[in-house]
Structure formats: structure tokens, C-alpha cells
Structure 1
Amino acid sequence: MTITLCDKSTINAVDWQRLSHLLAAGGLNQRPLQQVEQAWRNNTFCWFGYHDGELVATARAISDLTWASYVADIVVSPSHQGRGYGKQLMTDIVKTLLPFGKLFIYSVPEKTGFYQQYGFRFLTTGMVCATAESLFKLEQSGYIR
């Protein structure tokens, strides 16, 4: 079974309310609708996965199109997981971005094993700078020590 994957050229047809709900359902927290749209529109690459016309998967990436790309917010609706949609999405992401150099990913802790299947490795030098409140939340969620 496959999903229909669309790229950023279809961004004007996106149902931002549905995308926001998809992120929250996938464990990536509820976010303000306007910021969700702004984030996706400001990325170099976007993926939108549809099953029978319903948005069930998404991802986004920023890239310098030369040395590095950063992938974020990869999610498949929980009701559509286990059907190979995540694999289809990740295969397309890696195929699209790897020609532009290294791929970096920000993953929820419990999904790192999934990304390792696609060649992702842990960094020993990854770091983050954020407000004290954001750092506290990241620490509480298991992202940083």
C-alpha cells in the first residue's frame, strides 16, 4: 500500500488545520495554526502524504542545497501507521536530500531506531541553544541531559 506523496509545489492546497491536528496526533505537540503554516512555507522542502485524499503524513526540511539539510516534523497519522507509509516517506526524503550532502534530523527519543534504518547515526557533538523554559522542556522530554 502506498500514499500519494506531494512536494512543496502543492503547498497552497494544504489544509493547515488538518496538518496541525496530524502533528499533535503524531506526538509532536499542538502548535499554533499560523506558526505551522509559516514553518512549512519557510522550508526548502516539504512532503505531504495523502491516502484517499486525506492528509496522513508530512515532513519538512531546510537545506543549503550544497552541504547539509535538516529534516524535521516527520509524522504519519497513528491511524495509518504500520502500512509502510513512514518507509515510503523516509525513502523519498533520503533520495531527495542526500545529493545535497549530510542530513541531520531532530527526532523524538522513541523513534531514533526507525531513522537508523535509513542510515542516520548518532552525533557526539550535537548541541542546542534555547531559552531556559525550552531547555527545561527538552530535558523533561528526554531530548537533552
Structure 2
Amino acid sequence: MELIVNPRLTKNEITVLYSSVGWQKDVENIDNLKKGLRKSFVIAAYEDQRLIGLVRALSDFSTIVYIQDLLVCPQEQGKRIGKTLMLHLLNYFGAVGQVVVAAKPNNDSRKFFRYLGFQEGSDRQLSAYIMDRRARAN
């Protein structure tokens, strides 16, 4: 596995990876997502020149880093790719005091992030408030 910091991702690579994990809303406006990735700190994992995972963060590089995306192709999950990506990211932002991650609330996510040393917001009397403007009225 090869890790690349801030790679030049193609629309096809992005679409394939995000779609493989069921994040269809993210690729509905692929140009917008690609722009967001370019303006973020990204570490990508490649196997045989194929994008198999990535982690994306936003930060002020002093007080907070917000981890927006952590994706690993389903056929590559269970191979420590997500852990490797996260550890590299956490190492890079080692001097930053607060790390926040958004994750779907399921047992796998809970176990994974707790394993890495994260606590749920409710454990720290914190709440998250989200306005998802991608959501469409039916």
C-alpha cells in the first residue's frame, strides 16, 4: 500500500470510492466534492495505482482539526487501511489540541474510534449540530 498526501484525484477515482461505500449524495455534485477535496488535507491509500481509501481533514493547524471523511473500499476493509490512514493523519496534526470526527453512529464506528482514543461527544457532554444542505425535500 502506498500513501500519498494531497494527491491529484480524478473525478472517476472519487466517484468510484465514494460510491463503493454508499455515499451517493457526495458524488451527485462531483465538481463541488473535487473542489472540497482540493481545499482539504487529504491522505490517500493506493494499491497497484488504484485508490482504495482516503481520509480528509479541515484544520486551522493550531487549535482544531475536523476529520470529515474516512473511506475504505468495502473489498479492502479489515486490512488496517483505515487505521493506517488515521494514524498518519493524527501524527501529522500531533500538535493540534482538539480532534473532531464525524461518523455514522454504528457499533463498528464506535469500536474503531474508541480504539484510536476518541470519546463520543455525549461522553464529554458535547452535542453536534448539523445542517445538511444537500438534503432534498421530497
Query: TM bucket by the smaller chain?
Result: 0.7 to 0.9
How far is 1:15 from its partner? 1.9
Corresponding residue number in structure 2 for 1:140: none
SS in 1 for 2:68: strand
Kindly report structure 1 stretches of 4+ aligned residues shifted beyond 2 Å.
Answer: 27-30, 131-134
* Residue in structure 1 matched with residue 32 of structure 2 by the alignment: 35
Counterpart amino acid of residue 115 in structure 2 = Q
Q: Residue type matched to 2:127 in 1? A: G
Q: State the AA in 1 paired with 2:59.
A: S
Partner of residue 117, structure 1: 115
**Cα distance in 2 for residues equivalent to 1:132 and 1:90:** 27
Q: CA deviation at 1:127?
A: 2.4
Task: Decide whether aligned partners of structure 1 residues 107 and 131 sit closer, same or farther in structure 2, where only a CA change above 3 A counts.
Answer: closer
The superposition leaves residues 106-134 of structure 1 with CA deviations (integer Å, 9 ceiling, x where unpaired) of 00112222111111111132221426884
**Map of 1:1-145 to 2, 5 A cutoff?**
3-8=1-6, 10-11=7-8, 14-30=9-25, 31=27, 32-43=29-40, 45-110=41-106, 111-123=109-121, 124-130=125-131, 134=135
CA RMSD of aligned residues (A): 2.2
Shift in Å at residue 94 of structure 1? 1.3
With normalisation by structure 1, the TM-score equals 0.80
- The SS at the match of 1:119 is coil
Distance in 1 between residues matched to 2:89 and 2:132, nearest whole Å: 30
Counting aligned pairs with the same residue, the percent is 21
SS in 1 for 2:99: strand
Classify the secondary structure of the residue corresponding to 1:98: coil
Identify if the C-alpha distance between structure 1 residues 117 and 23 changes in structure 2 by more than 3 Å, giving closer, same or farther: same
How many Å separate the matches in 2 of 1:112 and 1:54? 28
Taking structure 2 as the reference length, the TM-score comes to 0.83
Q: Which runs of 5+ in 1 are unaligned?
A: 137-145
